[in-house]
Structure 1
Amino acid sequence: MAFLQGLDSHIVIVGCGISGLGAAMRLVQHGFHKVRIVEATGRAGGRIKTTLWGGKFVEIGANWIHGPCQENPVFRLACDYHLLDEKSMTEENQSIDVEGHPPFVPNWFTSSGQKVSVGMTEPASMLYMKLLQESQEFSVEDQEVLPTSSVGEFIKCKAKQALDEEQVDKTTKDLKQAVINTLLKAECCVSGTHSMDDVCLRAFGMYKTLPGLDCTFPGGYEGLIRCMAQDLPKDIVSYNKPVKCIHWNCTDQNSSSSEKRLPVLVECEDGEKIPADHVILTVSLGFLKRNHKTLLNPEIPPHKVQSIQNLGFGTNNKIFLEFEEPFWDPDCEIIFFLWEDEPELTDVVSNLDIFWMKKLFGFTVMTPAERYGHVLCGWIAGHESEHMETLSQVELECTITRLIRRFTGNPTITPKRVLRSQWYHDPYTYGSYTYIAKGCSGQDIDNLVEPLPLKGSQSKPLQVLFGGEATNRSFFSTVHGALLAGWREAERLISHYAPSTFPEACSSKL
């Protein structure tokens, strides 16, 4: 009987990204019929965002399925909805394990306009990858004294030692240093951080990769969102409805539509007040950092606030360029830029206004060419990326054009069109995704996951639950991490009403 009564519970999900959609799908599948999603914007998907640009689908947000294998729920859903090409679904593609770093075929260009062979850059690349691997091997449980507190400091210290010990000429040493700097900047994009100096060394290995060669959606990532939304009851999502405040442990409700006094009241900016038994909050960590004081009433307990502040949430943006003809090799998959005037190992710039473009480590080549033509996707992270968002379109295009001409040595090359993402200035994200910042640990994620009211309270349990990629210990920063987190919170409610049916439902370490 308890479970049947639970099916009448009013459940409000805040945010219609994949975490919120996943939670709603799981609840509806298990018979909950009073589920509502409130979404601040006019679209579903959150940080999954596809746009049509020059007749081509490009991803403003999430780009790949990372680790497309049977363990990855996003991959399984994409296969079920027939959204991937045949190659991506092959057993061979699923079995390749690249440990989060696909083996892209590179072209290297220097700031003096020279193309450098892979043979010249490979020794430094191999040194960097070796150090990156070592930085992932420290255990959170180990009590040993760490050589440094951050990943960036560890790699730079070890790299400097290795370069100083080599008996090579200054030109060769400078080239190797430039390679490591470029790869550090690339890693800032992977981690979504301003600098690898901000990423915790002890916890770096918490992030888990899945086997499979990363793949993309031929028709755009948003195709997955559309398919998921179509599997939900009609009108379950209310768009353009920002939430002003979630009142939990409610004692006063001004809603005539409520037949009973419910413990939560979701107050929207348009004045609507939605009573609920449970709320699943799937907003970005960036939004929580900015708004946690006013978003929940009473305020979030101090230890949860501390964990929100401890965890890192950075910006990683894209700059798309289309050309009439490629300046890269036919087999090239990634282009790296080597700055020859950086006197030390670094992944940040000295002056944002003047040198922000030096944080742009390079471009991935959009493939296949039959689909995209000659399109590159540039990657830039950190405060430099946030500054880039503030530039006018004309200034951005002029700067990028000068950059391409400088590195290729071709004074006439000009992009046909330029498009950028601007995630930092999006008022509902304030950045891109989560990283484990220096000084915090997996316990901070556990604290963030903990539902309100806290365990042991005499109040009605599970009033506010927390989803989104930031709440996944192993897969933070990923789409599959966000989806798993949404499922976890839905299953927490299912288990609450039918505990014997879902004994393992509420593990926070999915």
Structure 2
Amino acid sequence: MGIGSAGIGGPVCSTVPRDCIGATWWRSVQGEPVKRLTAGHPQGTTRKHQCGPPSSRDRQADPSVPYGDTDIRLILRTLRIPGVRLSTNLCVELGAASVGDSSKDYDTIVVGLGAAGTAASSTLARAGRRVLALEAQDRVGGRVHTVPLGDGVVELGAEWWQTKTFSVKNDSTSIKSMTMFLSLTSMFRLSIGREEDKALMIELIFYALKIRDESPATPQSEGQYVTDRVLEYVKDKHPSAIDNKEFLNEFFHLMDTVADAYEGTTSWYEVSTDSRYEELGGNQYMSWHTYGYKTLFDILLNTYNNGPGLPTLDIKLNTEVTAVSWSQDPTRGVTVTTKDGTTYTADNVIVTVSLGVLKERHESLFSPQLNQKKKTAIDKISMGLVGKIVLLYSQKWWSSNSISFIWTSDDERLLAGDEKWLYNVTNASESMGSPKALVFWTCGNTTKVSTSLTVPFPHHFYVCRTYWNTNPFTRGTYSYDNLLTPQYPTARSDLAEPLTDSSGNPRVLFAGEATNPTHYSTVHGAVETGYREAARLLPKSN
């Protein structure tokens, strides 16, 4: 659900459930030319891209267009060459970070400066609290990562601000009222053979997207539920199509990747229909455009438009926390130890690291160890994985800002062994902040495979990809409701519950998208939890 979440899902039909009019669809048909990828491309300005051994048909293709009259596999095969990783000096830094003093007393220490940590830190600092924020990476933002590319910026992390109705106020500035937002709009076209197949495919897509939001009385996997309902629908409305196994297999493969794009899963059979996610009103796919998602953090930290920052907030980057020690004795504070051995003390600590990091480190991170209720929550909630491969072209050759791919069984069989993962790459989108960049989306195990490839990329491309699964400070992108959700309905609330001393004072608090019972997997959900935990520590107003 959501993010794009900590919103990363792609903006095509497979990730725009309520407004599925935003994608161009391509189908590759072996031995038969498909729609030419030439719309809006100046003739003769881009050489034909050679990806793998060229076939005789490749050699006959028009050299003035990227791929000529050939099939979409050649575009997707370029993705098997992941290219270079962006160097850290390309990261957009958010203002000057002040240096924390280990001898200084703080009211609160915040571990992590992603969306939740930044919201919590800034809220407390604006209230006059002395706050130390410790971030393991060399930048602010967490799973939001804006980098310069081409004529603008691209988002390697969260992509979408998912509603107009959720605003972040910064004194006289409200994100809701800023002009940086541009909605995703594009044409919806389908090229899959017979006209009746096209019409039925569109009809079934809309039907499946509608019913995937339903919650049947008996929880089951989303894959099983949608498959059963669609087959019933086809038998009732289009009985002649029920024996068209190839068509139905193509459709269900597409819808499987729809769910994966939402949840970051490998299969929609991993996702439960028993979801607590609640969608806020307004447009779910708002873009920060050329401003970049980093602007959210500039505003929260009061550094937007060269703002002065927050005087009672100290920030230390490149500072990995290795231990959080606390006691139920009300007279003692919390001690936070970093990798270099430095210790900091405060009245309390807000831990905002990702669920993936908690899964990997919670036993060594907390002293005393977490209670069984929290351990169970960490174990039973699942962490999803969405990846991006960004290609920067010298000229824009696509005609609409999102593309989806429908694969046939023949297409899959023609893929070489090290290309099989491409079968699950089903959508791409134009970067809203860098119009000559095309973002290809991957999910689950497909992302793990794509990030493990090391073949050099052709010189006429610039490419970057994401590494959220191998990043030791994220270990994934965002959480989702797995098949265990009905058995552990309070897991997210249990994870969010603070640890208190014997007098009931909160000492160790938890924030982050995975702790939000209804808006998990989104940036706005993460921000909400930062506000929530800051509010626990501030006097209640009447």
Please tell me whether the aligned partners of residues 407 and 423 of structure 2 are also in contact (alpha carbons under 8 angstroms): yes
For the residue of structure 2 that corresponds to 1:236, the secondary structure is strand
The aligned residue for residue 13 of structure 1 is 110
The aligned residue for residue 427 of structure 2 is 362
Which of these residues, 460, 466, 485, is aligned with residue 421 of structure 1? 466
Structure 1 residues 22 and 118, CA, compared in 2 at 3 Å: closer, same or farther? farther
Root mean square deviation, CA, Å: 3.3
Same amino acid, percent of matched pairs: 26
Q: Hey, what's the Cα distance between the residues in 2 that align with 1:335 and 1:343?
A: 18
Q: Hey, what's the Cα distance between the residues in 2 that align with 1:279 and 1:29?
A: 17
Is 1:273 equivalent to 2:343 in the alignment? yes
1:153 to partner: Cα distance: 1.6
Is 1:239 equivalent to 2:321 in the alignment? no
Q: How does 1:233-382 map to 2 (within 5 A)?
A: 233=311, 236-249=314-327, 262-328=332-398, 330=399, 332-341=400-409, 353-367=418-432, 372-382=434-444
| CA deviation vs aligned residue, 1:251-279 (integer Å, no higher than 9, x gap) | 7xxxxxxxx95331111111011112111
Which of these residues, 249, 260, 268, is aligned with residue 188 of structure 1? 260
Aligned residues: 426
Please tell me whether the aligned partners of residues 204 and 230 of structure 2 are also in contact (alpha carbons under 8 angstroms): yes
The aligned residue for residue 464 of structure 1 is 508
Is 1:45 equivalent to 2:144 in the alignment? no
Q: Hey, what's the Cα distance between the residues in 2 that align with 1:171 and 1:374?
A: 43
TM-score by length of 1: 0.75
Q: Which amino acid aligns with 2:316?
A: S
1:26 to partner: Cα distance: 1.3
Q: Hey, what's the Cα distance between the residues in 2 that align with 1:352 and 1:14?
A: 43
Please tell me whether the aligned partners of residues 313 and 432 of structure 1 are also in contact (alpha carbons under 8 angstroms): yes
Q: Hey, what's the Cα distance between the residues in 2 that align with 1:351 and 1:313?
A: 30
Please tell me whether the aligned partners of residues 112 and 353 of structure 2 are also in contact (alpha carbons under 8 angstroms): yes
Q: Which amino acid aligns with 2:494?
A: N
Which of these residues, 448, 468, 474, is aligned with residue 386 of structure 1? 448
Name the one with the larger helix percent: 1
For the residue of structure 2 that corresponds to 1:476, the secondary structure is coil
Q: Which amino acid aligns with 1:46?
A: G
**Higher RCO, 1 or 2 (CA under 8 Å, sep at least 6)?**
2
Please tell me whether the aligned partners of residues 321 and 336 of structure 2 are also in contact (alpha carbons under 8 angstroms): yes
Structure 1 residues 169 and 356, CA, compared in 2 at 3 Å: closer, same or farther? same
Which of these residues, 485, 495, 498, is aligned with residue 451 of structure 1? 498
Q: Hey, what's the Cα distance between the residues in 2 that align with 1:78 and 1:315?
A: 37
The aligned residue for residue 225 of structure 2 is 154
1:164 to partner: Cα distance: 5.5
The aligned residue for residue 123 of structure 1 is 200
1:127 to partner: Cα distance: 2.2
Q: Hey, what's the Cα distance between the residues in 1 that align with 2:421 and 2:520?
A: 27
Which of these residues, 438, 445, 452, is aligned with residue 483 of structure 2? 438
| CA deviation vs aligned residue, 1:126-164 (integer Å, no higher than 9, x gap) | 32332333232327xxxx434xx1112211232344446
Please tell me whether the aligned partners of residues 387 and 467 of structure 2 are also in contact (alpha carbons under 8 angstroms): yes
Structure 1 residues 336 and 121, CA, compared in 2 at 3 Å: closer, same or farther? farther
Q: List alignment gaps of at least 5 residues for structure 1.
A: 1-7, 94-101, 110-114, 252-259, 345-349, 399-413, 503-510
Q: Which amino acid aligns with 1:37?
A: A
Q: Hey, what's the Cα distance between the residues in 2 that align with 1:458 and 1:316?
A: 41
Q: Which amino acid aligns with 2:213?
A: Q
Q: Hey, what's the Cα distance between the residues in 1 that align with 2:199 and 2:359?
A: 40
Is 1:208 equivalent to 2:289 in the alignment? no
Q: Hey, what's the Cα distance between the residues in 2 that align with 1:272 and 1:168?
A: 71
1:281 to partner: Cα distance: 0.6
Please tell me whether the aligned partners of residues 106 and 333 of structure 1 are also in contact (alpha carbons under 8 angstroms): no
For the residue of structure 2 that corresponds to 1:288, the secondary structure is helix
Structure 1 residues 234 and 303, CA, compared in 2 at 3 Å: closer, same or farther? closer
Which of these residues, 173, 184, 187, is aligned with residue 105 of structure 1? 187
Q: Hey, what's the Cα distance between the residues in 2 that align with 1:77 and 1:194?
A: 43
1:351 to partner: Cα distance: 11
Q: Which moved more, 1:306-315 or 1:260-269?
A: 260-269
Please tell me whether the aligned partners of residues 128 and 159 of structure 1 are also in contact (alpha carbons under 8 angstroms): no
The aligned residue for residue 475 of structure 1 is 519
Q: Which amino acid aligns with 2:252?
A: I
| CA deviation vs aligned residue, 1:32-57 (integer Å, no higher than 9, x gap) | 1x211011111101011011123430
Is 1:223 equivalent to 2:306 in the alignment? no
1:354 to partner: Cα distance: 4.5
For the residue of structure 2 that corresponds to 1:126, the secondary structure is helix
Q: Hey, what's the Cα distance between the residues in 2 that align with 1:104 and 1:312?
A: 33
1:25 to partner: Cα distance: 1.5
Is 1:485 equivalent to 2:529 in the alignment? yes
Please tell me whether the aligned partners of residues 74 and 480 of structure 1 are also in contact (alpha carbons under 8 angstroms): no
Q: Hey, what's the Cα distance between the residues in 2 that align with 1:489 and 1:222?
A: 22
Q: Hey, what's the Cα distance between the residues in 1 that align with 2:337 and 2:498?
A: 19
Q: Hey, what's the Cα distance between the residues in 2 that align with 1:219 and 1:393?
A: 33
| CA deviation vs aligned residue, 1:162-207 (integer Å, no higher than 9, x gap) | 446634469965234313322321331222222221111122x533
| CA deviation vs aligned residue, 1:284-316 (integer Å, no higher than 9, x gap) | 111111111111111111121111111111110
Structure 1 residues 248 and 351, CA, compared in 2 at 3 Å: closer, same or farther? farther
Which of these residues, 166, 189, 196, is aligned with residue 72 of structure 1? 166
Which of these residues, 116, 131, 134, is aligned with residue 35 of structure 1? 131
Q: Which amino acid aligns with 2:496?
A: V
Q: Which amino acid aligns with 1:54?
A: G
Structure 1 residues 76 and 26, CA, compared in 2 at 3 Å: closer, same or farther? closer
For the residue of structure 1 that corresponds to 2:388, the secondary structure is strand
Structure 1 residues 116 and 15, CA, compared in 2 at 3 Å: closer, same or farther? farther
1:460 to partner: Cα distance: 5.2
| CA deviation vs aligned residue, 1:354-375 (integer Å, no higher than 9, x gap) | 51121111211234xxx63432
